[in-house]
Amino acid sequence: MGGAVSAGEDNDDLIDNLKEAQYIRTGRVEQAFRAIDRGDYYLDGYRDNAYKDLAWKHGNIHLSAPCIYSEVMEALKLQQGLSFLNLGSGTGYLSTMVGLIIGPFGVNHGVELHTDVVEYAKEKLDDFIKNSDSFDKFDFCEPIFVVGNCLEISSDSHQYDRIYCGAGVQKDHENYMKILLKVGGILVMPIEDQLIQITRTGQCSWESKNILAVSFAPLVQKNRAEGSKPDAVELPPVTVRSLQDLSRVYIRRTLRDLTNEECPDKGLVQRAPQKRKRRRCRLRRINTYVFVGNQLIPQAMESEEDERIDQEQHKEDQEQQETQEQQEKEQEEEERDIGSVEILKAVNVLRDKIMTLPLPESLKTYLLYYREK
């Protein structure tokens, strides 16, 4: 599934294409997509395919097409402080983007059938927290992943504000999914080759909306011996943050706001989409007809007017080519001249601010989430 937009050269280029095709329509979704490099969730040797609008699968590891994730993120209508459940959480790519939007006072849980995929997701999450500068630009709700079959969730589990299921849901499992949703909540899932958005408007009332046609592999039920009871999946508890953790959240938020006020140019930088050159087509008039066998065939006949149009078109093409070459030359010179500025933008201003504080090193390390860089 995918292929709706052109392939990108990098993550920013991919996001530009998704915006141009109207799959990404809101600023907060765009920021989340730019903050998480899709290529980081690919295995080594497969990263070249990361920025194509295509699904990718290797063993149990799977990523949906970027256009699908874009529609899902928009349909969920995420806000700070919401609770989110990802059924079939896979690599954790989507859950991590959601965590950037719902913030530290949200709830971010994922259920995944395969143990090796959960371990892979935890590794990618740990790498994001320790190494990505994007982590310091957001208040983050860290996802928690558990192993289990999402069709065997304990019946007394708590409900969520937002739910996404990343595998095809059979019609007879639709109500099972709805029960996990709070009143006023939104559920996005594929049913019968349609990605649908379901809003719970009351205890027993729902509104459904088709988003787009999709093709998902169906949910898998574990094989078990006849007569044996399934192992119920226990979702992670919803806990209150400790006072120590809350202090870290608010200190980091205050310092981030201060640095953004002092250095507004060092905030979130969004890349402008590249301008695409349009080629003009020459329109020829039909001036005459000729007989070929028994058929009457129209044929263009050159005239002085046609020759004049050709000359003007050729001249315009040359001017466009010269202008484009000049712009590319100026851009290369600008990149060489402002190398120091590019480096300045790459500086993690929050980290620098924390390191200058008159605090014990252990406390600085805690405020930085033990990040080494």
Dig out the tokens for 67 from the structure.
């256009």
How far, in Å, are 49, 95, 107, 212 from residue 46 at the CA level?
6, 21, 32, 28
- Per the annotation, the verdict on 340 as an active-site residue is no
Dig out the tokens for 51 from the structure.
């920025």
**DSSP run (H or E) holding 297:** strand 295-300
Residues with Cβ within 8 Å of residue 203, at least 6 apart in sequence: 183
Strands 83-87 and 107-112, by their bridges, are: parallel
DSSP labels, 103-140: -TTSEEEEEES-HHHHHHHHHHHHHHHHH-GGGGGS--
Contact of 139 with 103, CB cutoff 8 Å: yes
From 6, 64, 154, 228, active-site residue? 64
Whole-angstrom distance, CA of residue 351 vs CA of residue 348: 5
Q: Outline where the chain has alpha helix (H).
A: 11-20, 27-35, 66-76, 93-102, 115-131, 174-179, 243-262, 304-337, 339-345, 349-355, 361-367
The 8-class DSSP code of residue 369 comes to T
Active site residues: 64
